[in-house]
Amino acid sequence: MSSCSQIRVPRWFSLFVFLAFVAAFPTVSPNAYILNIAGFVGIYILLCTGLNILIGYAGQISLGHAAFWGLGAYISGVLTAKFGWSSVLALAASVIGTCVVALFVGLPTLRLKGHYLAMATLGVGVIIHVMFVQFSGLTGGPSGLVGVPSFSVGSITIGTALENFYFIWAWTAIGLMGALNLSQSRMGRALNAISSSDVAAECMGVNTYRYKVIIFVLSAAYAAVAGSLYVHYLNFAAPGTFGFMTSILLLTMVVVGGIGAFWGPVIGASILTILPEYLRAYEGLEELLYGMILVGVMMFLPKGLAPLFHNLRLRFSLTKQADEGG
């Protein structure tokens, strides 16, 4: 087979088509409210893509991902609101700061496996959340951090919903491209191997511990960017946003979309960000629905929704091949 020797073209095509649709979205949605939601969808996709790299690609569970999101938001928010930093520098600082914290958290906890890792990350998430509440001098405590300026580069301020939409989605696009490249690289394969058989990967020369730490830090970097985008978009941050329940929500998004599938976080985050908007009227129904969706997916679609889309694509490409091959 000649196709064996050539590098498979990455699934960039579908990603570019998707991003083209996203870029065209504001033209069909002049409504700022819808655009606003679409911006949040971008942030959640970025968050979930980072989490999926850790959980799906490398097979390491984290129950504290929201804390890294919060850390990114608070570092960026506090530096701009309280210390007058430029938002560009604050974004860089929030990524570096969050990565350093993730490194210190990851070094000891990633020696643990399975449930122990889940428990450790849960604990760290709760601790960081408590810090947001307790360091009220800096963070504004339980009532939240106010007066965070919008993101600005030089004299250009990203203020309107439309500007924010494109700004957020530019980052989301970068994040998605990075994840796509990663999934098809030497490192991505090694991570996949770790998630399947740690022992065999190790015996074939993969430094499993080092890779787990790298990927843990990378997923935190995704969260930090998402945090910084979030806080400058909303001009506000409250500790409740970054609590344990959010970590679970992010996990639910990844699971519903399809753990380890590239499109998983996109699908999961979109559904679970848009759905609650329709349920605003029914207070308390959200949690119930999340639970039902999670149980339903685990029972009937353990690989999430992404494979359904993949199957469609596969069927399409098979018929195309058959047509061409004759």
Partner 1 sequence: MREEAILTIEEVSKSYGGLMAVSNLSFEVPAGAIKAVIGPNGAGKSTLFNLITGLEPLQSGHIVFDGCHVDGFKPNRRAGLGLARTFQTPQIFENMTVLENVLIGRHLQGKAGLWDALLYTGRSRREDLAMRNHCLEVLEKVRLIDKAHDGAGDLACGQLKLLEMARALAMEPKIVLFDEFAAGLTWEETEHMMSIVRGIRDEGVTVLLVEHDMHLVMNLCDEIVVLNFGEKIGEGSPEEIQQDERIIEVYLGSEV
- List of residues contacting partner 1 (CB under 8 A): 4-5, 7, 10, 178, 181-182, 184-190, 192-193, 195-197, 199-208, 214, 218, 260
Q: Which is nearer to partner 1, 52 or 247 (CB)?
A: 52
CB of 182 to partner 1, least distance (A): 5
Residue type, 36: N
CB of 92 to partner 1, least distance (A): 17
CB of 236 to partner 1, least distance (A): 31
List, in sequence order, every residue forming a beta bridge with 83; answer none if it has no partner: none
Q: Which is nearer to partner 1, 283 or 324 (CB)?
A: 324
Residue type, 311: N
From 70, 262, 258, 245, select the one nearest 176 (Cα to Cα): 262
Q: Which is nearer to partner 1, 10 or 144 (CB)?
A: 10
Dist CA 286 CA 292 (whole Å):
10
CB of 321 to partner 1, least distance (A): 13
CB of 100 to partner 1, least distance (A): 16
Dist CA 289 CA 17 (whole Å):
31
Dist CA 22 CA 45 (whole Å):
13
Q: Which is nearer to partner 1, 202 or 286 (CB)?
A: 202
DSSP state of 213: H
CB of 198 to partner 1, least distance (A): 9
Say if CB 78 and CB 266 are below 8 A apart.
no
Alpha-carbon torsion 162, 168, 172, 173, what sign? positive
- Report the SS3 class of residue 140: coil
Q: Which is nearer to partner 1, 49 or 164 (CB)?
A: 49
DSSP state of 263: T
From 81, 136, 76, 126, select the one nearest 105 (Cα to Cα): 126
Q: Which is nearer to partner 1, 6 or 27 (CB)?
A: 6
Dist CA 48 CA 232 (whole Å):
19
CB of 196 to partner 1, least distance (A): 4
Residue type, 53: I
Q: Which is nearer to partner 1, 16 or 135 (CB)?
A: 16
Phi/psi at 35 (5° precision): -65, -40
